[in-house]
Amino acid sequence: MNLDPKLPRGPLADKWLEHRNHLRLVNPSNKRKFTVLVVGSGLAGAAAAASLGELGYQVECFCFQDTPRRAHSIAAQGGINAAKNYHNDGDSVFRLFYDTIKGGDFRSREANVYRLAELSLRIIDQCVAQGVPFAREYGGLLDNRSFGGAQVSRTFYARGQTGQQLLLGAYQALCRQIAAGTVRMFPRTEMLDLVVDDDGSGPRARGIIARDLVTGRLERHAGHAVVLATGGYSNVYYLSTNAKGSNATAIWRAHRRGALFANPCFTQIHPTCIPASGDYQSKLTLMSESLRNDGRIWVPKDPGDTRPPESIPEADRDYYLEVRYPAFGNLVPRDVAARNAKQVVDSGRGVGPQRNGVYLDFADAILRRGSAVIEDRYGNLFEMYEKITGENPWVTPMRIYPAPHYTMGGLWVDYNLMSNVSGLFVAGEANFSDHGANRLGASALMQGLADGYFILPATLANFLADHLGEKLSPAGPSFDGVEAEVRQRLGSLLALRGQRSPESFHRQLGHLVWHACGISRTAAGLEQATSEIAALRREFWQNLRVSGAPAEVNQDLEKAGRVADYFELAELMCRDALDRDESAGSHLREEHQTPDGEALRNDEEYAFVSAWEWQGEDRPPVRHAEPLHFESVELSRRSYK
């Protein structure tokens, strides 16, 4: 297996420019002769489709929602990083690069991360020109804030709706191209498989099989290149902060057709979400991390203490983060906060009706700073909390608990964002490229837009230049074969006629993955979960019940296909977590921690990207490794004591 990341030579700061200087170009009059399929219309997909359309390529863009404006990028709250140094506080491209690679616990490529930091500057320019209403200062210039523990103010934001505004910017650019006729949009259309053929020179992506979610018809789309920008796979856990429709099917089907899956076990759990309130719970809601700036986290000292929080005296409270981490207190990084919450809840001291949360208490902050300040800072969050829980955080402490939020793992890509399958590109959260073992706050939006606006338009041309004159046809044995398989699979899901719904299997699977491959992992737990997942998967394929018919709107069938893929992905996540016998960033193996409970990396043996190759349903996948080389940074250990 050739795992060449195609990293450019030369000094770190010159790599991207040097690389672009030598990428091949496509003549303007030839661009319209190429068709590019873009699957997904979030930040990465919409930005890529719009930019490629502007350049003159024929683009077909797909999304499962009713319009491209709904993609889950829209829910990002915090902001987007850029090394503009507008605050004159010492920020630079190198510093953003360094913070990102260190935050990822040194499990990402230097060249990729540096390019991301470099492009952050142009992203802000582009978005402002599109009319994205970023927050401004009274002088009319752009405002920045410090976010996620960064020591500089480099985060651009639009109130708590940065993702929404950036997505609408990209969506509007996309609409402009749809009107211009360069992009054909296929809403309510879900990619169900990738068409790959091999003429002896290796696998090559030829197109996709998609299902029209209104009529149920299967459609074939052929392209000179296929871009997957289909987001992450946090919904494998069932309860996550992702949208209900977010799913892994596109990347998983591509994986089964030969694309390597990288670092599947690197998944981020966000510490401040509202705990689940019952069995009917369908998703979890994130509360901004900024709450930890003023709120104090605690649980009762005594597991049997059932008094309401207001009546528990100071002496009986355990402010466990302040005790364990006196220097950082409640502001320890996301993974540390999440792990500690799990420990106290597992020890039986969880709070709330389900005993599945910890208190986040503003009583001290209200006394110290006054209600007006707290209202100004967190008023909207308090309101949102009250809307969902029916409890008033001004009177009784909030309850929070960690929830799956983002997946750093994804399909393996080289520096050009092309997977090992020729012509298959992967962008945004769907690829594994830039965040290593842990993603820093306000960098997901940055990566999606860097991939879509600036990287793909350059690297796709380089690929396409070699394929001028290649005829496209959705007919032929490769398309016939894949379409037949898709049809058969849908048919077998509908034919099972068992007792349990896709939703109930998903819920049970999520529970297994959450406990074995969530906040912390052990070899024994992962091994046990792997066999339990396999057993549940067998039951799924015997006892599933899907209602409705194939040729109509059938949300149960959509769900069933996604859950079927989650089973296989969940197994791979556990396998990867077991294989990576170290702790790194979000991946905490309990066997590998410092006496203080910090992640203990093993750089000698595990400074690599794991890239898994599918071998078929009955054979275990093969793990390849892309070694990571660090030339510009020294590998250091995090400490928050």
Which of the stretches 21-29, 373-381, 543-551, 581-589 binds another protein when contact is defined by CB under 8 A?
A: 543-551
**Residue span 26-65 as binding mask against another protein, x where in contact by CB under 8 A, dash where not:** ---------------------x--xx--x----------x
Q: What is the C-alpha to C-alpha distance for residues 310 and 563, in angstroms, rounded to an integer?
A: 42
Taking the complex as a whole, how short is the minimal distance between the CB of residue 186 and another protein, in angstroms?
12
Out of 90, 390, 477, 595, which residue is the one contacting another protein (CB under 8 A)?
390
Out of 36, 150, 243, 526, which residue is the one contacting another protein (CB under 8 A)?
243
Taking the complex as a whole, how short is the minimal distance between the CB of residue 561 and another protein, in angstroms?
16
Strand order in the sheet with 189-198: 189-198, 203-212, 218-222
Q: Which is nearer to another protein, 3 or 135 (CB)?
A: 135
Taking the complex as a whole, how short is the minimal distance between the CB of residue 333 and another protein, in angstroms?
24
Out of 6, 24, 32, 136, which residue is the one contacting another protein (CB under 8 A)?
136
Is there binding between residue 126 and another protein (CB under 8 A)?
Answer: yes
**Residue span 195-234 as binding mask against another protein, x where in contact by CB under 8 A, dash where not:** -------------------x--------------------
Is there binding between residue 567 and another protein (CB under 8 A)?
Answer: no
Taking the complex as a whole, how short is the minimal distance between the CB of residue 129 and another protein, in angstroms?
4
Q: Which is nearer to another protein, 27 or 380 (CB)?
A: 380
Taking the complex as a whole, how short is the minimal distance between the CB of residue 612 and another protein, in angstroms?
29
Taking the complex as a whole, how short is the minimal distance between the CB of residue 324 and another protein, in angstroms?
32
Taking the complex as a whole, how short is the minimal distance between the CB of residue 313 and another protein, in angstroms?
29
**Residue span 165-194 as binding mask against another protein, x where in contact by CB under 8 A, dash where not:** x--x--xxx-xx-xx-----x-x-------
Q: Which is nearer to another protein, 387 or 471 (CB)?
A: 387
Q: What is the C-alpha to C-alpha distance for residues 424 and 459, in angstroms, rounded to an integer?
A: 12
The answer to whether the beta carbons of residues 224 and 242 sit under 8 Å apart is no
The answer to whether the beta carbons of residues 276 and 354 sit under 8 Å apart is yes
Crossing angle for the helix pair 523-543 and 555-579, to the nearest 10 degrees: 160
Q: What is the C-alpha to C-alpha distance for residues 571 and 576, in angstroms, rounded to an integer?
A: 9
List the one residue out of 447, 352, 435, 462 whose CA is nearest residue 400: 352
Which of the stretches 22-30, 72-80, 418-426, 571-579 binds another protein when contact is defined by CB under 8 A?
A: 72-80
Q: Which is nearer to another protein, 298 or 454 (CB)?
A: 454
Q: Which is nearer to another protein, 71 or 265 (CB)?
A: 71
List the one residue out of 257, 184, 251 whose CA is nearest residue 223: 184
3-class DSSP assignment, residue 327: coil
Write the single-letter amino acid at 619. R
Residues that are catalytic: 334
Q: How many CA atoms lie within 13 A of 276 on its CB side?
A: 15
Out of 11, 140, 308, 313, which residue is the one contacting another protein (CB under 8 A)?
140
Out of 10, 131, 476, 481, which residue is the one contacting another protein (CB under 8 A)?
131
Pair of tokens at residue 85: 């140094």
How many residues touch another protein (CB under 8 A)? Answer: 79
Is there binding between residue 512 and another protein (CB under 8 A)?
Answer: no
Size (the chain), residues: 641
Out of 61, 101, 124, 413, which residue is the one contacting another protein (CB under 8 A)?
124
Which of the stretches 29-37, 241-249, 406-414, 481-489 binds another protein when contact is defined by CB under 8 A?
A: 241-249
Pair of tokens at residue 172: 């509007």
Pair of tokens at residue 580: 């990576």
Q: Which is nearer to another protein, 101 or 381 (CB)?
A: 381
Which of the stretches 31-39, 201-209, 291-299, 449-457 binds another protein when contact is defined by CB under 8 A?
A: 449-457
Q: What is the C-alpha to C-alpha distance for residues 405 and 493, in angstroms, rounded to an integer?
A: 29
The answer to whether the beta carbons of residues 273 and 334 sit under 8 Å apart is no
Out of 14, 125, 302, 581, which residue is the one contacting another protein (CB under 8 A)?
125
Q: What is the C-alpha to C-alpha distance for residues 501 and 556, in angstroms, rounded to an integer?
A: 8
3-class DSSP assignment, residue 593: strand
> Phi and psi (nearest 5°) for 9?
-85, 180
Consecutive H or E run containing 190: strand 189-198
Taking the complex as a whole, how short is the minimal distance between the CB of residue 331 and another protein, in angstroms?
25
What does DSSP say about strands 58-62 and 183-186: parallel, antiparallel, or unpaired?
parallel
Out of 504, 522, 543, 632, which residue is the one contacting another protein (CB under 8 A)?
504
Taking the complex as a whole, how short is the minimal distance between the CB of residue 387 and another protein, in angstroms?
6
**Residue span 569-608 as binding mask against another protein, x where in contact by CB under 8 A, dash where not:** ----------------------------------------
The answer to whether the beta carbons of residues 295 and 365 sit under 8 Å apart is yes
| Residues 262-301 close enough to bind another protein by CB under 8 A | 277-278, 280-283, 285-286
Out of 8, 457, 498, 597, which residue is the one contacting another protein (CB under 8 A)?
457
Is there binding between residue 133 and another protein (CB under 8 A)?
Answer: yes
List the one residue out of 101, 406, 431, 407 whose CA is nearest residue 261: 431
Out of 28, 90, 139, 595, which residue is the one contacting another protein (CB under 8 A)?
139
Is there binding between residue 154 and another protein (CB under 8 A)?
Answer: no
Out of 197, 219, 322, 503, which residue is the one contacting another protein (CB under 8 A)?
503
Vertex 108: Cα angle to 105 and 110 (nearest 5): 110
Taking the complex as a whole, how short is the minimal distance between the CB of residue 172 and another protein, in angstroms?
4
Q: What is the DSSP string of 477-528?
A: HHHHHHHHHHHHHHHHHHH---SB-HHHHHHHHHHHHHHHHSSSB-HHHHHH
Q: Which are the contacts of 96, defined by CB distance < 8 A and separation ≥ 6?
A: 81, 82, 83, 117, 120, 154
Q: What is the C-alpha to C-alpha distance for residues 585 and 335, in angstroms, rounded to an integer?
A: 7
Is there binding between residue 556 and another protein (CB under 8 A)?
Answer: yes
Vertex 498: Cα angle to 496 and 499 (nearest 5): 155
Taking the complex as a whole, how short is the minimal distance between the CB of residue 514 and another protein, in angstroms?
19
> Phi and psi (nearest 5°) for 277?
-110, -5
Pair of tokens at residue 618: 């009955």
Consecutive H or E run containing 251: helix 249-256
Q: Which are the contacts of 88, defined by CB distance < 8 A and separation ≥ 6?
A: none
Taking the complex as a whole, how short is the minimal distance between the CB of residue 121 and another protein, in angstroms?
9
| Residues 77-116 close enough to bind another protein by CB under 8 A | 84, 86
Q: What is the C-alpha to C-alpha distance for residues 225 and 219, in angstroms, rounded to an integer?
A: 17
Is there binding between residue 74 and another protein (CB under 8 A)?
Answer: yes
Q: How many CA atoms lie within 13 A of 523 on its CB side?
A: 6
Which of the stretches 66-74, 190-198, 262-270, 575-583 binds another protein when contact is defined by CB under 8 A?
A: 66-74
